[in-house]
């Protein structure tokens, strides 16, 4: 591990709070308060000021949180440079000295006007959701694409769109761009895959202007019956294949089998998990169009700011920033500026586009039951559909 990263973690382990204030956040003459919770695992790396790991490289579970933290600190630098009236506190979500429930009950969070959390599991989600509802404080769930157990809570915001939101978005996308074509929906046996199939079947029953022309093909995990897919391909036109499983290895195997025959032109539509499959950019899959959805897009939006972040990060950390760095930067800057602008009325102005950096967040109220008067939560329903071929981006919708 580089000495700089060790210094960063040491700083985090000894100073969990960047800034404190006892001000009232609705007083426009005083700074607004933001609490940021990040899974840093500092206590697993340090005992006091002593580094306790035998290995030089940091554990994989530490890196995403550390990179998010680096993005947060870059945003704080930008806010300071602007003279923004904000005070931001950072807490290690995985600290051993104090439980999350105790942290949320502490006086340190008095007068906080916004909580931003990189939640990692459903237990944490429940604690944060309850805190937001009890205190009437907007809570941005920055990275966890789930809302299980959350209801009647308009203060809880799912920024990383849920699986259900992606399925709905994929259906509408296919309706618009492939609605007149036959679509081969390839799947496997599994509970999640059954859910996807049932979800699409239900949407097809009431679809307007018309249902998707889906033909379902089930392939086993050994791909011994892959001919069921291949027999449905047509060499005289472009084939549309929907991979109805979030399992990354299954999706990659489908693309692999489709790429073996150059006589077929194919557009393969996958799950949001495909954003993580770097192998899909390999030249050997160059004859396949790849389409997938994502709520976060950083490599083509606001390229001047993206270049600046890349340069500053490389100068300071001697590496390229990951998407977690950009998320940390964007979420802290964007929502802190909104809090500073709207103060005690932030919850009704979360969709304000005044301080958009990269992504056009579309926060919509979600009601899990049609009879619900109050929204169960807010969710980012803005999805970008990326079309790539041979590792090159062909279009973004």
Dihedral over alpha carbons 39, 45, 50, 51 (to 10 degrees): -140
Question: What distance in Å separates the CA atoms of residue 50 and residue 313, rounded to the nearest whole number?
Answer: 26
In this prediction, residue 155 has a pLDDT band, given cuts at 50, 70 and 90, of very high
Q: Which residue has the higher pLDDT, 375 or 60?
A: 375
Give pLDDT, residue 255.
96
30, pLDDT greater than 90: no
Q: What is the pLDDT of residues 340-350, one digit of tens each?
A: 999 989 999 99
6, pLDDT greater than 60: no
Give pLDDT, residue 10.
44
Q: Which residue has the higher pLDDT, 16 or 252?
A: 252
Please state, in angstroms and as integers, the Cα–Cα distance from residue 147 to each residue in 123, 221, 229, 351, following that order. 11, 30, 35, 19
Give pLDDT, residue 18.
44
Give pLDDT, residue 280.
94
In this prediction, residue 65 has a pLDDT band, given cuts at 50, 70 and 90, of very high
Ordered structural domains, the chain, with CATH: 32-161+301-382 (3.40.50.2300), 164-294 (3.40.50.2300)
Give pLDDT, residue 28.
67
3, pLDDT greater than 70: no
Average pLDDT over every residue of 166-188: 96
Question: What distance in Å separates the CA atoms of residue 223 and residue 201, rounded to the nearest whole number?
Answer: 24
Average pLDDT over every residue of 82-108: 92
Question: What distance in Å separates the CA atoms of residue 21 and residue 36, rounded to the nearest whole number?
Answer: 14
Give pLDDT, residue 43.
77
In this prediction, residue 97 has a pLDDT band, given cuts at 50, 70 and 90, of confident
> What is the Cα 308 distance to its own chain's centre?
22
Q: What is the pLDDT of residues 303-322, one digit of tens each?
A: 999 999 999 999 998 999 99
Average pLDDT over every residue of 59-69: 90
Q: What is the mean pLDDT of the chain?
A: 90
Three-state SS at 226: coil
In this prediction, residue 11 has a pLDDT band, given cuts at 50, 70 and 90, of very low
Give pLDDT, residue 180.
94
19, pLDDT greater than 80: no
In our burial notation (b when 16+ CB lie closer than 10 A, e otherwise), range 57-80 reads ebeeebebbbbbbbbbbbbbebbe
Q: What is the pLDDT of residues 262-291, one digit of tens each?
A: 888 999 999 999 998 999 999 999 999 999
351, pLDDT greater than 70: yes
Q: What is the pLDDT of residues 37-50, one digit of tens each?
A: 999 988 777 655 55
């Amino acid at each position: 591990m580089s000495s700089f990263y060790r210094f960063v973690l040491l700083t985090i382990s000894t100073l969990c709070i960047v800034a404190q204030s006892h001000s009232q956040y609705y007083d426009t003459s005083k700074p607004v308060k933001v609490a940021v919770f990040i899974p840093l695992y500092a206590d697993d790396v340090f005992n006091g000021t002593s580094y306790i790991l035998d290995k030089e490289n940091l554990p994989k579970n530490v890196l995403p949180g550390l990179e998010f933290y680096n993005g947060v600190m870059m945003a704080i630098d930008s806010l300071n440079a602007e003279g923004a009236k904000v005070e931001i506190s950072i807490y290690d979500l995985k600290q051993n000295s104090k439980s999350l429930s105790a942290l949320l009950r502490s006086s340190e969070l008095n007068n906080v006007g916004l909580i931003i959390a990189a939640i990692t599991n459903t237990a944490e989600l429940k604690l944060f959701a309850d805190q937001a509802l009890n205190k009437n404080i907007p809570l941005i769930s920055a990275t966890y694409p789930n809302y299980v157990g959350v209801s009647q809570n308009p203060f809880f915001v799912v920024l990383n769109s849920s699986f259900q939101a992606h399925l709905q978005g994929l259906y509408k996308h296919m309706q618009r761009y492939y609605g007149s074509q036959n679509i081969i929906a390839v799947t496997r046996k599994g509970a999640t895959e059954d859910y996807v199939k049932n979800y699409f079947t239900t949407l097809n029953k009431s679809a307007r202007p018309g249902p998707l022309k889906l033909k379902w093909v089930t392939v086993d995990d050994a791909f011994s019956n892959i001919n069921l897919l291949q027999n449905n391909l047509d060499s005289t036109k472009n084939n549309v294949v929907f991979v109805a499983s979030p399992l990354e290895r299954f999706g990659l195997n489908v693309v692999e089998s489709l790429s073996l025959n150059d006589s077929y032109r194919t557009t393969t539509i996958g799950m949001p998990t495909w954003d993580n499959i770097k192998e899909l950019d390999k030249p050997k899959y160059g004859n396949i169009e790849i389409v997938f959805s994502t709520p976060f897009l950083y490599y083509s939006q606001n390229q001047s700011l993206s270049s600046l972040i890349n340069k500053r990060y490389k100068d300071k950390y001697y590496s390229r920033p990951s998407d977690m760095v950009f998320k940390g930067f964007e979420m802290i800057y964007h929502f802190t500026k909104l809090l500073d602008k709207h103060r005690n009325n932030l919850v009704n102005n979360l969709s304000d586009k005044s301080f958009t950096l990269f992504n056009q967040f579309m926060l919509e109220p979600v009601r899990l039951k049609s009879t619900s008067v109050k929204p169960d939560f807010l969710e980012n329903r803005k999805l970008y559909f990326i079309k790539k071929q041979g590792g090159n981006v062909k279009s973004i919708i």
